[in-house]
């Protein structure tokens, strides 16, 4: 099997699994319990908090564990909406941000989408309403386009707004520093960086007033109620540490492999456009837009060759809807335009990429025929 869909999810690092194992077996105490058996779990959570904080340029007290990126995005936007702030999300956000923003807009009559330019960046002539909560992702999951978060933070703060950043795809793939970038709230997810699924984190800048989404116990400093997923948290912590140590691998070997993949396909596939190529992008992502064939047919043919790639975000793929990201960027989307996303990881080999370069032109030809 050739797995080139790492923006959907990643392989669990075997070392991460080993670190989680004791907390799925012998060390099962509730970390809030008062005896020393529970202290091991409580200490493990605090260590993971430090590991995650270090990866993203935060202090441990600013990191609160959640069930994943979706919950973190919902929690941050809900908190801002409860303060009566209009929620403005860019048109290319992940569904967990975009749908939430649209739901608030419908409910309150305030808030709307922030259009993007052809390169995928938020439109520079957009008039941000005063006091809004602007949601801008650090890296786009479909195209890999990276936003200039420090400059967007200045722009939002000049309008007395808050900046929420979905950093799910950026963390562990490029160096990010939430504090120095001026981010107010941010979402992170472990399974995008070789950690387990169902665990993520919400960053809340120190001193920011926050309205918790869930009512319940006092876990996570009152920011997120519910007994902690200790094994998941421990796995996230180690995955974050390993991702930080191996950032150079992503920006070196993997970027070179990705660039080679794009160069070879551009020379073999006529009409191929790489979405967002004019902007800085994640080192692992390519969104290939190819007129003349149907996405589903191409994906099915590649699947028969044992190659796992997708049409974009996993949710959009399930719904068979044309990508809202490509549409917002003004790229052609429709039944006879194939949109194929490849996303590499530190486990990707040159042989994996060579197989795609060989098989994709064949699949396109057969699908077109
Ligand atoms: N945000 C982005 C940009 C994503 O790519 C994803 C995952 O697909 C999410 C949020 C949701 O994260 P999770 O799967 O942890 O809920």
CB 240 within 8 A of CB 51: yes
> Which residue has better confidence, 98 or 322?
98
- CB pairs under 8 A, 24+ apart, for 297-303? 297/338, 297/366, 297/367, 298/338, 298/340, 298/360, 298/363, 298/364, 298/367, 299/340, 301/359, 301/362, 301/363, 301/366, 301/367, 302/340, 302/356, 302/359, 302/360, 302/363
- Identify the residue whose C-alpha is closest to ligand 1 atom 10: 69
pLDDT in tens, 81-95: 999 999 999 999 999
pLDDT in tens, 107-159: 988 889 999 999 999 999 999 999 999 999 999 999 999 999 999 999 999 99
Alpha helices in 280-349 (DSSP H): 295-304, 314-319, 324-328
Q: What is the pTM of this model?
A: 0.97
* Protein residues whose CB sits closer than 6 Å to any atom of ligand 1: 68-70, 73, 94, 96, 137, 141, 166, 168-169, 189, 200, 313
> For residue 318, is pLDDT > 80?
no
**Enclosing H/E stretch for 104:** helix 95-108
pLDDT at 182: 98
Which positions ≥6 away from 334 have C-beta within 8 Å? 322
In order, the DSSP letters of 45-93 are HHHHHHHHHHHHT--GGGEEEES-HHHHHHHHHHHHHHTTPPEEEETT-
pLDDT in tens, 240-257: 999 999 999 999 999 999
Question: Could you list the active site residues?
Answer: 315
- Identify the residue whose C-alpha is closest to ligand 1 atom 13: 69
pLDDT at 317: 52
Out of 147-156, 193-202, 252-261, 313-322, least confident range: 313-322
> For residue 333, is pLDDT > 90?
no
Q: What percent of the chain has pLDDT over 90?
A: 94
User: Which atom of ligand 1 is nearest the CA belonging to 190?
Assistant: 15
Q: Ligand 1 mean position to 2 CA, how many Å?
A: 22
CA atoms within 13 A on the CB side of 227: 9
Q: Ligand 1 mean position to 292 CA, how many Å?
A: 30
User: Which atom of ligand 1 is nearest the CA belonging to 71?
Assistant: 16
Provide the token pair at 97: 């941000």
Mutation probe of ligand 1 site: the residue of 144, 168, 170, 316 with most atoms within 8 A of C-beta: 168
CB 183 within 8 A of CB 151: no
Instruction: Name the pLDDT band for 314 (thresholds 50, 70, 90).
Output: low
Q: Ligand 1 mean position to 189 CA, how many Å?
A: 7
Mean pLDDT for 310-335 is: 79
């Amino acid at each position: 099997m050739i797995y080139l869909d790492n923006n959907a999810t990643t392989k669990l690092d075997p070392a991460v699994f080993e670190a989680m194992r004791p907390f799925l077996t012998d060390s099962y105490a509730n970390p809030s319990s008062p005896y020393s058996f529970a202290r091991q779990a409580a200490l493990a959570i605090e260590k993971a908090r430090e590991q995650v904080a270090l990866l993203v340029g935060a202090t441990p007290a600013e990191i609160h564990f959640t069930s994943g990126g979706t919950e973190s995005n919902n929690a941050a936007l809900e908190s801002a909406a409860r303060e009566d702030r209009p929620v403005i999300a860019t048109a290319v956000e992940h569904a967990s941000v975009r749908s939430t923003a649209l739901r608030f807009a419908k409910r309150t009559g305030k808030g709307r989408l922030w259009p993007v330019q052809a390169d995928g960046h938020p439109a520079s002539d957009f008039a941000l309403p005063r006091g809004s909560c602007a949601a801008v992702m650090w890296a786009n999951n479909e195209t890999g386009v990276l936003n200039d978060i420090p400059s967007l933070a200045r722009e939002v703060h000049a309008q007395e707004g808050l900046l929420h950043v979905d950093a799910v795809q950026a963390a562990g793939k490029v160096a990010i520093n939430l504090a120095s970038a001026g981010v107010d709230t941010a979402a992170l997810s472990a399974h995008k960086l070789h950690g387990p699924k169902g665990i993520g984190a919400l960053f809340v800048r120190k001193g920011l007033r926050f309205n918790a989404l869930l009512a319940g116990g006092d876990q996570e400093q009152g920011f997120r109620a519910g007994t902690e997923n200790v094994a998941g948290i421990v796995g996230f912590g180690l995955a974050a540490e390993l991702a930080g140590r191996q950032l150079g691998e992503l920006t070196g070997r993997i970027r070179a492999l990705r660039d080679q993949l794009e160069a070879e396909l551009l020379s073999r596939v006529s009409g191929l456009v790489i979405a967002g190529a004019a902007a800085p992008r994640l080192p692992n992502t390519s969104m290939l837009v190819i007129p003349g064939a149907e996405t589903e047919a191409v994906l099915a043919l590649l699947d028969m060759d044992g190659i796992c790639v997708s049409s974009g975000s996993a949710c959009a793929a399930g719904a068979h809807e044309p990508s809202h990201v490509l549409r917002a960027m003004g790229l052609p989307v429709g039944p006879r335009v194939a949109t194929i996303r490849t996303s590499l990881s530190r486990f990707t080999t040159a042989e994996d990429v060579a197989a795609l370069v060989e098989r994709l032109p064949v699949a396109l030809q057969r699908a077109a025929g």
